[in-house]
Copies of this chain bind each other. A is one copy, B any other.
Amino acid sequence: MTDSSQQLDGVIDLLGLLAYASLVAFFQVADDAAEAVSLSDKADLAGMAVIQFGHFELLRDWLGELGVDPQSAMEPFVDAIDSFHARTTPSDWLESLVKAYVGDGMAADFYRVVAQLLDEPTRALVLRVLADTGRAEFVIARVRGAIGAEPAVAGRLALWAPRLVGEALSQAPRVAAAREPLARLLAGGSAAQLGEIGRMFATLTDEHAKRMASLGLAQ
């Protein structure tokens, strides 16, 4: 089965969603990085932003090869993604770090799950983007260090992390309802299997709990 037999509209929606999410992640993480006190913290977080831009470029170029205007493909997802970021503005450097780490992880989980639903060649593209994640590991040492120095930090961050997941998941049904081709693609081609989306989100939540434990924020 190739893309042509799948709902191409759904694939275009997915690429548009991921492209815009990556572009905005670039801007958000770059903005947060600028606030770091030390130059090495600035550089590390800026490096994570740059990886997001690389994802955006891959996805945008792929849309172009499909003959689709990237701007049109991204447009339907601007409101949901901008709302997510507006509702999850970090109030300090540690919240920025946790947001970058959680966001990077959730994105990787989503790419991994979605790759199973895609045909070639889109699957290969998604796996290529996925291979280029994981530079968020430096966050673990910083957050654990901050908690070690001031244990009260853990309580605050333990509330912050689930809020990020909650806000992301609360945008998802809005997007799925507005973009039927995307919902159908994520449901594995059958509207009857929309329960699959629910199971997918459950997987994402499990992985999130593991990440929280690695930050020293057991839930």
Contact = CB atoms under 8 A, between A and B. Distances in A.
Interface in A87-122: none
A50 B23 CA distance: 12
Q: How large is the interface on A (under 10, 10 to 19, 20 to 34, 35 or more residues)?
A: 20 to 34
**Identical chains bound together, number:** 2
A170 interface: no
A71 interface: yes
B50 A53 contact: yes
Interface in A1-56: 20, 23, 26-27, 30-31, 33-34, 38-40, 42-43, 46-47, 49-50, 53-54, 56
Contacts of A46: 23, 26-27, 53, 56
A74 interface: yes
A38 B43 CA distance: 28
A27 to B, nearest CB: 4
6 contacts: A23-B39, A27-B34, A30-B31, A38-B71, A47-B57, A50-B53
